[in-house]
Amino acid sequence: MKTITNTSYIKNLLLLAILLLGAGIYAQEEEEESKEKKFSFSGSVDGYFRTNFNGLNKEVIDVDNLISFGPTAPGTAFANDPGFALGMVNLIASYEGEKVGFVADLVFGPRGEVAVFFSEPSTNIVNQLYVFWNVSEKVTLTFGNWNTFLGYEVISPVANFNYSTSYMFSWGPFSHAGIKADFDLGNDWSAMLAVMNPTDFTEFNPFAEYSFGAQLGYSGQFLNLIYGKQGPSEVISGGDFTDTDIKGLFQIDFTGGFDVTDSFFLGINATYQDADGLGFYGAALYPQLATSDTFTIGLRAEYFKERGDYGAIGTGLEDSSVVAITATGNIQIGDLAIKPEIRFDSASDNAFLNSDLEAQDNLASFVLAAVYAF
């Protein structure tokens, strides 16, 4: 009887040990799996106040001639509304596994509407939506809709030092839909190749035409290229299809920057775009000086010139140009950034209205923005 009892006791101990070992292995596998798969949620909220020092700040209606004059603003994107104005709510959910993952980037508000301007604001809130596959340590494939790889600035106000945006960014591509392959070439070299819908047609392709993109990078400096037809290549005339001979959009762009010292950074952007004989070219410098852990002051000095009557500056004349100088302070309070900004735009021709509805070639304005990132 005693022997049987001891044997049963030993069996119970072995069973318990096996259960504990299995639980440990399962917990270890679960922990390793959780390390491999990461879900994150982030985003931002922003708003601003804007006023002109020497421009029209309100809407004026000429009832005799049935003409309406709106508040004067630079011909750039996003921060153009007078008084206290809204930016956007940006919500970003991402999931990163060992090999695959996704990013879902949603926008709400006026800045978001401009960012997805080729779709109805009431129905489209998607800024980015893509999946990716890390084929190897050196190659990643991305499929879906992503923000452009051209230019120094981006749609999100969190990633930009200046709150208002440049002419080059505002009139270049915003987003692309398609498939791209990123390559890590080693020794700080990288490359990217992409096949995409026409620029900013991110929900579908109505033209059966495609654009091609490429990027070559070295140690934070990038040379970017994009080429592709941006509209229908044929029209119906007299019942027959006729080739419209659209040459398409071509843009080459350099984006980079250097840490001159531990506290001084210099960003650089230069671009050239041709779209059927129209287009623009320009360059900008972005010096930024950190005076403390909580305050940085920066400048954007941009030269922008249209080719033909491109319509970006708003003079209505051919080959107009503009020099835009923007000084921005960045006061960091935890996750909140306060950005006071003074901007001066000087055009080659009359592009702005003063408070007396007189055309002038320059505009001085002030913006105070608040950007909260989480």
Read off the pLDDT of residues 301-355 as tens digits, 9 standing for 90 and up: 999 999 998 999 999 899 999 999 999 999 999 999 999 999 999 999 999 999 9
SS3 content of the chain, % helix, strand, coil (to 5): 10, 50, 35
101-123: pLDDT as tens digits:
999 999 999 999 999 876 544 56
Task: Supply the pLDDT for residue 229.
Answer: 87
Grouping H, G, I as helix, E, B as strand and the rest as coil, residue 27 is: helix
The pLDDT tens digits for 80-90 are 999 999 999 99
- Give the pLDDT band (50/70/90) at residue 73: very high
- pLDDT of 13 > 50? The answer is no
Instruction: Report which residue type is found at 178.
Output: G
Token representation of residue 131 = 């999946």
- Count CB atoms within 10 A of the CB of residue 139: 12
Instruction: In whole angstroms, give the CA distance from residue 23 to residue 289.
Output: 55
Confidence of residue 4 (pLDDT cuts 50, 70, 90): very low
Q: Using CA atoms, how far apart are residues 123 and 140, in angstroms rounded to an integer? A: 31
In whole angstroms, how far apart are CA 274 and each of 184, 226, 248, 255, 318?
A: 30, 11, 8, 18, 15
DSSP string, 85-132: EEEEEEEEEEEE-SSEEEEEEEEESHHHHHHTTTS-TTT--EEEEEEE
| Domain layout of the chain by residue ranges | 1-36, 37-373
pLDDT band at 182 (very low <50, low <70, confident <90, very high): very high
**Residue of 104, 90, 76, 92 lying closest to 47 (CA atoms):** 90
Local confidence band at 66 (pLDDT 50, 70, 90 cut-offs)? confident
Element spanning 273, H or E: strand 264-275
Q: How sure is the predictor about 7, in pLDDT bands with cuts at 50, 70 and 90? A: very low
Burial-class residue 239 by CB neighbours within 10 Å (0-12, 13-18, 19+). Answer: exposed
pLDDT tens by residue, 282-294: 999 999 999 999 9
Domain 37-373 has CATH 3.90.550.10: no
Closest CA to 248 of 233, 269, 267, 263: 233
SS3 246: coil
Q: What is the pLDDT of residue 240?
A: 66
* pLDDT at residue 20, rounded to an integer: 47
